Amino acid sequence: MNQKEALTEYLLRLADSDMILGQRLCELCGKAPALEEEMALMNVALDLVGQARNWYEYAADLIDDGRDADKLAYRRDAHDYRNLLLTEQPNEDYAVTMGRQFFFDVWHYFTLKSLVNASDERVAGIAAKALKEVTYHLRRSSEWVKRLGDGTEESHRRMQDAVDILWRFTGELITPDETDQLMAEAGIGPDPEQLKEDWRGLVKEVLQEATLTPQPDDAWMYMGGKRGEHTEHLGFILAEMQFLQRAYPDATTW
C-alpha cells in the first residue's frame, strides 16, 4: 500500500463513520424523547453528514474514477464501507444512543485534534472545521453520560448496561492497523499510542464522574469495520439510506 492508497482508505473510514452515525441519528427524527433532544440529535447528524461530504469529496479526487461524493456514499455496498462498527450499532434506548455517541465523540475529538496538524493541507482544513463542531458534540454526550449515570437508579442501570453493551466495539477505535500506521508515519493521522492513551483517559474520567464502571482494557473486542467486515446492522442501514439512489440512479430531479 502506497501513501496515496492509504490516505484514500483513511479518508473513506472517516467519511463512512460520519455518514453511518449521521444516518443512525436521523432515525430518531420525529421520535426523540424531547423536542430539544430531537433538535440536538439532528444538529449533530447534520454536522456529521456535512463532514462526511468534505471527506468524500477529497477521497473522490484521489480515486479520480469519475465518482463524486454522492456516488461514494450511495453506490458502495456494505463490504466496501469502512466505518467503525460502533457507529452502525442500533439506537436502542437513550442510554445506548448517548453512550455510542460519547465513545465515538471522544475518539472523533482526539483524532481531529491531531488531524488539524496534518502534513496534508486539505486534511488539516477539513479537520479544523470539524473539530469546532465535534467539541460541542463531545460536551453534550459527556453531559448525558454523567446525567444518566449519576441519576436515578434506573437511569444508572441503563447507562451501565449501555457501557457494557458498547464496550466490545470500542477496541477498534484505538487499535491501529497498517493504514493507521502509514498515516501516522506520513504525519497525517494521529500517533496510535497517543490516541489510545487520550481516549482511555477521558473516557475513564467521565465514566468515573458518572459513577459508572468501565470494562477492562483487555476485554474481547469485535473488530473488522475498518476492513469492510461489518455486523448485521450495516446492510439494513444502507438498504434504507441508498434506496432512492439505487432505484433511480442519476436522477437529477427529486
Partner 1 sequence: MPQHGDSDNRSAVDILIASDRVPANARPDLLTEDDIWALLDEVKDPEVPAVSVVELGIVRAVHWDGKELSIDVTPTYSGCPATELIEELIAEALRAAGFRDPKINQVLTPAWTTDWITDEGKEKLRAFGIAPPEGSSSKMSLLGEPEVIACPHCGSKDTERVSEFGSTACKALYRCKECLEPFDYFKCI
Binds partner 1 by CB under 8 A, chosen from 1, 29, 39, 239: 39
When asked if residue 74 is in the footprint of partner 1 (CB under 8 A), the reply is no
In the region spanning residues 191 to 210, those forming contacts with partner 1, defined by CB under 8 A, are: 206
When asked if residue 136 is in the footprint of partner 1 (CB under 8 A), the reply is yes
Alpha carbon 58 to chain centroid, angstroms: 18
CA quadruple 88, 126, 45, 60: dihedral sign: negative
Query: What percent helix, strand, coil does the chain show, rounded to 5?
Result: 70, 0, 30
Q: Which residues contact 233 (CB under 8 A, 6 or more apart)?
A: 88, 89, 90
Binds partner 1 by CB under 8 A, chosen from 26, 27, 28, 50: 50
CA quadruple 107, 32, 48, 222: dihedral sign: positive
Cα–Cα dist 9/143, whole Å = 33
Binds partner 1 by CB under 8 A, chosen from 26, 28, 43, 67: 43
Q: Smallest gap, in angstroms, from Cβ of residue 204 to partner 1?
A: 14
Question: And the C-alpha cell for 85?
Answer: 462498527
Query: Position 149: which residue type?
Result: G
If the CB atoms of residues 85 and 195 are measured against partner 1, the closer one turns out to be 195
When asked if residue 126 is in the footprint of partner 1 (CB under 8 A), the reply is yes
If the CB atoms of residues 47 and 88 are measured against partner 1, the closer one turns out to be 47
Binds partner 1 by CB under 8 A, chosen from 15, 20, 32, 48: 48
Binding stretches for partner 1 (CB under 8 A): 36-37, 39-40, 43-44, 46-51, 53-54, 109, 121, 124-126, 128-130, 132-133, 135-136, 138-140, 142, 206
